[in-house]
């Protein structure tokens, strides 16, 4: 379950979705939890902040950076 939340955080970073109100690139995600809600969920599941940052937030931003550099 924790890996699912971490993956969803990363995908929402890539989509540019801060909260459930943001559409992001993929409009199909509209209304689903965004980075903020998913990060809160991850913390409630006792996933360490370091893991959230390295495996989700930073990893997602690396993908965004690669997309902008090409």
Domain ranges across the chain: 2-69
Tens digit of each residue's pLDDT (9 = 90 or more) over 11-59: 999 999 999 999 888 788 888 999 999 999 999 999 999 999 999 999 9
Q: Is residue 70's pLDDT more than 80?
A: no
Residue 34 contacts residue 19 (beta carbons within 8 Å): yes
Residue 4 contacts residue 54 (beta carbons within 8 Å): no
| Percentage of the residues of the chain whose pLDDT score is greater than 90 | 77
pLDDT in the model for residue 1: 67
Topology, domain 2-69: 1.10.1240
Closest CA to 13 of 54, 57, 66: 57
Q: Is residue 9's pLDDT more than 70?
A: yes
Residue 32 contacts residue 68 (beta carbons within 8 Å): no
């Amino acid at each position: 379950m924790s890996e699912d939340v971490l993956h969803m955080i990363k995908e929402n970073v890539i989509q540019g979705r801060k909260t459930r109100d943001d559409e992001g690139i993929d409009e199909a995600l509209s209304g689903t939890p965004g980075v903020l809600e998913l990060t809160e969920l991850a913390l409630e599941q006792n996933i360490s902040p370091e893991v959230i940052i390295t495996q989700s937030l930073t990893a997602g931003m690396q993908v965004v950076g690669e997309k902008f550099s090409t």
